[in-house]
Amino acid sequence: MSEPENTRRDGPLTLRDARLIGSSFTDVTLENSVFESANLADCRFEDVTLAGSLIRDGNLDRLELEDVSLRNAAIRNADVTGMTIDGIPVTALLAAWRAKQG
């Protein structure tokens, strides 16, 4: 009997009202995904492509993004308290961006 073939199934995903609290995503492509009203608190995304994705009306408290591609991604109406990108708090990134905008 042969070994089962290892198949990889990457996104895009459409998740609405999902509770993914504490989940971990590593080395996946989720381009053009939609996370709507999703609870991603305490989740970790590492080496993940989220390019072109939309995260809307969600809880991103303590969400960790490490080595994540966010090209053309959008986060709207989401709680980003405690969220980090490559270890940097998103609130600090937003403050620096706003200051640069004048």
pLDDT in tens, 69-87: 999 999 999 888 899 999 9
Distances from the Cα of 33 to the Cαs of 4, 7, 16, 25, 74, in angstroms?
Answer: 28, 20, 11, 14, 11
What is the reported pLDDT for 67?
A: 95
Cα–Cα dist 60/21, whole Å: 9
Domain boundaries, the chain: 14-101
Residue 7 has pLDDT above 80, yes or no: no
Residue 1 has pLDDT above 70, yes or no: no
Tokens standing for residue 3: 């070994």
Average of per-residue pLDDT across 39-64? 94
Q: Is the CATH number of domain 14-101 3.20.20.10?
A: no
Share of the chain above pLDDT 70, in %: 89
Cα–Cα dist 88/93, whole Å: 7
What is the reported pLDDT for 9?
A: 59
Q: Helices in the chain by DSSP H: which ranges?
A: 90-101
What is the reported pLDDT for 87?
A: 95
